[in-house]
Chain A
């Protein structure tokens, strides 16, 4: 607060100072003396990226609705700002009150992507908070994590006091209530420990320090044991069954700066029933729960009124899959066209229905439509359970081009399980086939193809797979580069070294925390940005820690191996995942559980949950 007066002058030294000022419309200001608990929600990337995150808006809204809580925001400072803070000996501060991060009672981070973890350490350090949970005193904030990375947070275990698995809407309030009880007590020795033990009794709450990991001689995990009976052997995710009754942010903070995905967002459903075998989101967000049409319409109205946005985005893992998407989109277009509000659907299915839908919503065909076949051959698509056929794709792109679009974007992966040379070659063939669906003789027509290296993820049927090595990925990329030497195809790929680094941390165990710490101290930041990541420093970090990156990334896991996340339960059974792996290798399709047969993954039974379509719970 003392630095507010000097801030405008200080910020002249950094690029894009708008990142660090707060003051946006709908920002929540409270009197700190009138609240019992102060929280900061941290997004471990820059403001422009973090401000688009729906989860942050949701928790900000829920927490600030409580009169006894003030929740503020903090984002990762760019290099020049980190330098400025260190030079001027200023702490990383929250945007609303400009308070030092260490002045908060609780700081929460969202674990979106492993390569943002060094930013978390930077934010803690700059915020004046000891990095190791064990070094924190009763006057230091409690540090909590959530988000998809919570399903394997082991590489961050020493740095977080608590990790929350699953959906946070309800559990966050429970955490705050228990905190308040303990905050009223004297903060002597053992105060933190008692609070963590109390938190550990809440469903979905994982206290890493409550578990000891033992290792076998070969480096695999031998056991994950609670230190006392107060810590449950397994922590299961939290799920909000009735999302229609849960709170939703209808007055989100509106950034003044240019940020990504800068539009009104309504989440139209959670989860995905398609069961693509490489996809972690498909597992951890089960079962599918769709919002009723009337609610989406009403939320849209409120958000647009409170924000002044002129674009509305219908958000989900696969928006065209909402059971009532057609009437929903048509009704929104009807209501909002005269107000000059545009509608956008972030992701589409590969079928002409989606093209028709896209035609309705995208009045101006500025950007291309994106499709994700993921694999080049039908065989491999069957392995990953992506039911798209070559005919489906070509019929769709033909429709896209004849509707006036001049660009189609395709996403593929290399390094998928059972992949052979023919599959990689087929990526090129399929891409050309797509290009050739552009009307002959007509000017224009382009395909952007993006090929990512496959990263096996925990809690998926492919969690036991070996990842391709850097060399293997690079040679496949090189092959494709050679094939795509034409102006009408724009080929982009991800750095193989970065894919493998991600692969190591994605299935990493607790020992990787040392690598993370070393990398942070060597100056690694913003590793998710390909022009910022320094793979040499990461190599050094692995060396210093005496760990082998290929042990984590390239090693195939045994069926009965204790995986580092075995104590964390997504609701989907290990038996189901292994069964799906077997089906993958046999090329067998598993249908979408929303409309077809239940595949008995375990989540509905175990969590007393069910699929909700258009707001109605459906029976399996």
Chain B
């Protein structure tokens, strides 16, 4: 059994594809690339693929990951190259690496995600103030329609406004809780009295983080 992890990007119009669309596309791309996939048993055999955290529709990403199990040894570099010839526009494999059998699953390892949001217009100072306030508070209660209130401050690991149009933030994503970037931006906009329209922000997932002994660390140590 041979586990290969792929790091890929989802850019441009491919951002309009849902997580399920992406899964379907990857599965077919693996078949087109004639990768020797391992299949599950039973009446309806499925290829053994596993995916990283779902990305909401409309967001680009430079940090998407999926795992494919092969039933024979197969060079990750070759797999990456073959896949890149079989992918539609906007999806591209950046790196591929073999992963040992005892390494936990992708989804169980991921603890957080780093995002970048580009605001359509330069933000006013109210935004810098709101950012500072949020960072300095111990609690941040937000309310979602039909979902009630929750304290999301523990789910926010980092937040920075660079220049006056670029927000960088790291949100929890995984088994210990998840804060969606669009929900985060909506809440932040609310904090600065709607100083920007969260729907118009262009969000890109920049990286994934895993929980290590010294806190959150980069995911690509596995590559």
Contact = CB atoms under 8 A, between A and B. Distances in A.
Q: Do the two chains bind?
A: yes
Interface of A: 4, 7-9, 11-13, 17-18, 20-25, 27, 254, 256-258, 305-310, 340, 363-364
A385 to B, nearest CB: 39
A55 B70 CA distance: 37
Interface-centre pick from B21, B22, B39, B60 (highest chain A CB count, 10 A): B21
Interface string B165-206: 000000000000000000000000000000000011010000
Interface in B1-52: 12-18, 20-22, 24-25, 27-32, 39, 43-45, 47
Contacts of B12: 8, 23
A306 B29 CA distance: 10
Contacts of B18: 18, 257
A21 B13 contact: yes
Contact of A258 (B24, B30, B31): B24
B97 to A, nearest CB: 23
Contacts of B60: 8
Interface residues of B, number: 34
A306 B32 contact: yes
Task: Please name the 9 residue pairs, one residue from A and one from B, whose CB atoms are nearest each other, closest first.
Answer: A23-B89, A308-B31, A308-B28, A17-B16, A308-B32, A21-B13, A25-B88, A12-B58, A256-B25
A258 B199 contact: no
B15 A8 contact: yes
Contacts of A18: 16-18, 21
Contacts of B43: 363-364
Contacts of A306: 32
Contacts, number: 85
A166 B108 CA distance: 57
Interface string B73-94: 0000000000000111110000
Given A8-B15, A23-B89, A256 B58 contact: no
A615 to B, nearest CB: 29
A37 B86 CA distance: 29
A25 B14 contact: no
A25 B14 CA distance: 12
Nearest to B29: A308
A232 to B, nearest CB: 45
Nearest to A363: B43
B216 interface: no
A21 B16 CA distance: 8
A256 B13 contact: no
A256 B17 CA distance: 7
Given A12-B58, A306-B32, A310-B31, A256 B45 contact: no
B86 A8 contact: no
B46 to A, nearest CB: 9
Given A25-B86, A308-B86, 16 more contacts: A8-B13, A8-B58, A9-B202, A11-B16, A17-B16, A17-B57, A18-B18, A21-B16, A25-B29, A25-B88, A27-B89, A254-B88, A256-B21, A258-B20, A308-B29, A340-B39
9 contacts: A11-B13, A18-B21, A21-B13, A21-B17, A25-B32, A256-B14, A256-B88, A308-B31, A308-B86
